[in-house]
Structure 1
């Protein structure tokens, strides 16, 4: 990872997620998502935590210092607040080499930041698929996330400590988002 700066791609992933959150209609809050544990509202609560967790982890705090979900009563305002705090952390070049604690152990900041591109890309697909907006997704983000998912998340076993369902079989002609969500155990054909 020497010399790799994931912040431009992470910024694109954050922009994409922000656009999806701020344009999700409140009437969609109870729709199911491809992430079986979450409705649209619950997924957004989780993402509100993720944006804050990125900043916390990269500033040197433990990942568990931010809960898995943060109840959001104003999706756009809460996103803007979390994003601003994380952007302030991302502006510091020192984060790239800082040793940080992530769920899988110790990592340098560049690798930790890169891992969040994948989490944001997959959850963006979850939200977009649940609300009928998959065409808005940037395939570059899914293509960037797939190699890391394949390297860090084994095809087997799944479940328990590996919080993903079984890999979903797809055709060789599948697009980047279909490939990455299938690897994370989601059905690329999901329809709300």
Structure 2
């Protein structure tokens, strides 16, 4: 990522992808397991929303460690509306260009805003894959978006340095796997 890199369009595109998936969530799916094994679907949706609120909070000037990465209690049918509110908040929080160069604190350290927001692009794209496995198995996800974050994931999360990160070992992916699936495998999901 260069100093000119602006992750905001990618992040909003990742949220568009999440929105399509959130619209497909049904109450009977919420207790199902996900490829993100520590979460059932309800918990993963809450974690995903929590991440959006966390990066919004960072854009608003807060410390990334001060806000829990869970969204709180959401009614079974209110997930799309909750995502809509989170999207509005994060878009407003990062609207000013100057915030991209301001050093911010996120769970992985102090980095320029553009790097912090770029990390949350990777999170949103990966959790879209996790959610899709439950609500829309086989759905075509944004290949171009996943291709843009896969090399970043490979660089910042090398296969041989997984001791202090919340990702399992790199998993094998089929040779013909699409980019979202390869990203999920790189981040420790069984695909």
What is the match of residue 94 of structure 1?
A: 98
Deviation per residue, 1:87-144 (Å, 9 max, x gap): 1112211121111112221111111111111100000000001223442411112111
What is the match of residue 179 of structure 2?
A: 176
Residue pair 1:21, 1:76 contacting (<8 A) in 2 also:
yes
| CA 1:64–1:186: 2 relative to 1, 3 Å | same
With the length of structure 1 as denominator, give the TM-score of the two structures: 0.91
RMSD (Å) for aligned C-alpha atoms: 1.5
Are 1:4 and 2:8 counterparts?
Answer: no
Are 1:167 and 2:174 counterparts?
Answer: no
Residues in 1 aligned to 2:120 and 2:143: alpha-carbon distance in whole angstroms: 16
Residue pair 1:100, 1:109 contacting (<8 A) in 2 also:
yes
What is the match of residue 46 of structure 2?
A: 45
Shift of 1:173: 3.2
What is the match of residue 32 of structure 2?
A: 31
Residue-pair matches, total: 187
Residues in 1 aligned to 2:141 and 2:12: alpha-carbon distance in whole angstroms: 14
Among 118, 125, 129, the residue aligned to 1:125: 129
Residues in 2 aligned to 1:41 and 1:3: alpha-carbon distance in whole angstroms: 37
Gaps of 5+ in 1: none
| CA 1:55–1:134: 2 relative to 1, 3 Å | farther
What is the match of residue 76 of structure 1?
A: 80
Gaps of 5+ in 2: none
What is the match of residue 60 of structure 1?
A: 61
With the length of structure 2 as denominator, give the TM-score of the two structures: 0.91
